[in-house]
């Protein structure tokens, strides 16, 4: 089913702000917008599972999603999160192999789906899309390298502090003593984000509280700034 005219206009507006489409003409953006089908997912909904065989590209029009791996017990490792303007699904699109990860909506989300053939056609006609796409894929690889480094070289408590500081610096909230403030995440969520068990997170939080590096207060984690750690 095609989108309504109003939806096409909205998709066009969003596409214009997406880095991989920044250098293409208005006319071509309009053409791509017509090929995009919108879908909505409720918080917790699964877009696709690791090993699924599909090859389309997904563009986040609204909301937040995450790409994860799961082990047999259902323990999760979060590889990346995607916000408005980000895209995912480029790996299967490019190499034709099954999905490398499971995609879940962290919030109610709206996605634009662009068929593989339309995207490949767009790249052929606008090679700058491929160059911008490569830059983003390389950025993701660098982030993954950094995650592998953390997993191999740092203990759970060090990984936890690094994660919390990373979130804190994005959110930018500090209390009067200069401690960063991060709204509390569940131990399960923290475990999934740093590749640790929930038990290891619980132990690490106790150690960090004793060292006064991460303190839990009124629904927040208070984190001592790294320059003083
Ligand atoms: P695809 O393999 O098609 O489906 C899962 C998607 O998750 C994948 O494409 C990427 O878009 C995304 N993904 C998988 N691994 C990573 C990673 N290490 N960093 C960022 N995104 C990833």
Tens-digit pLDDT profile for residues 12-29: 888 888 889 988 898 989
- The residue whose two tokens read 């320059």 is 227
Percent of the chain with pLDDT over 70: 96
CB under 6 Å to ligand 1: residues?
67, 79-80, 88-92, 99-101, 103, 140, 144
Q: What is the mean pLDDT of the segment spanning 161-183?
A: 88
d(C-alpha 36, C-alpha 113), whole Å: 5
Q: What are 220's strand-pairing partners? A: 183, 217
**3-state SS, residue 222:** strand
Q: Indicate if the pLDDT at residue 227 is higher than 60.
A: no
Instruction: Name the burial class of residue 207, with classes exposed (0-12), middle (13-18) and buried (19+) by CB atoms within 10 angstroms of its CB.
Output: middle
Q: Which of 50, 52, 79 to mutate to test the pocket of ligand 1 (most atoms within 8 A of CB)?
A: 79
- The residue whose two tokens read 């936890």 is 160
Q: What is the mean pLDDT of the segment spanning 183-199?
A: 95
Q: What is the mean pLDDT of the segment spanning 49-77?
A: 96
Which atom, in ligand 1's list, is nearest to the CA of 147? 18
**3-state SS, residue 12:** helix
| Per-residue pLDDT reduced to its tens digit, 73-118 | 999 999 999 999 999 999 999 999 999 999 999 999 999 999 999 9
Q: Which of 50, 57, 80 to mutate to test the pocket of ligand 1 (most atoms within 8 A of CB)?
A: 80
Q: What is the mean pLDDT of the segment spanning 31-52?
A: 96
């Amino acid at each position: 089913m095609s989108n309504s005219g109003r939806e096409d206009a909205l998709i066009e507006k969003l596409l214009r702000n997406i880095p991989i489409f920044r250098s293409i003409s208005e006319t071509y953006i309009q053409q791509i917008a017509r090929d995009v089908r919108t879908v909505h997912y409720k918080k917790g909904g699964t877009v696709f599972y690791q090993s699924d065989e599909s090859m389309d590209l997904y563009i986040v029009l609204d909301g937040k999603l995450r790409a994860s791996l799961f082990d047999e017990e259902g323990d999760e490792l979060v590889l990346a999160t995607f916000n408005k303007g980000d895209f995912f699904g480029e790996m299967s699109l490019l190499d034709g192999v099954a999905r490398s990860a499971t995609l879940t909506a962290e919030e109610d989300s709206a996605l634009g789906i662009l068929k593989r053939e339309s995207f490949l056609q767009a790249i052929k006609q606008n090679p700058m899309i491929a160059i911008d796409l490569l830059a983003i894929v390389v950025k993701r690889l660098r982030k993954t390298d950094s995650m592998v480094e953390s997993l191999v070289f740092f203990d759970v408590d060090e990984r936890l502090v690094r994660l919390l500081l990373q979130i804190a610096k994005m959110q930018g909230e500090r209390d009067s003593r200069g401690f960063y403030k991060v709204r509390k995440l569940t131990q399960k969520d923290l475990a999934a984000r740093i590749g640790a068990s929930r038990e290891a997170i619980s132990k690490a939080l106790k150690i960090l509280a004793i060292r006064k590096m991460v303190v839990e207060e009124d629904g927040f984690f208070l984190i001592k700034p790294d320059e003083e750690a």
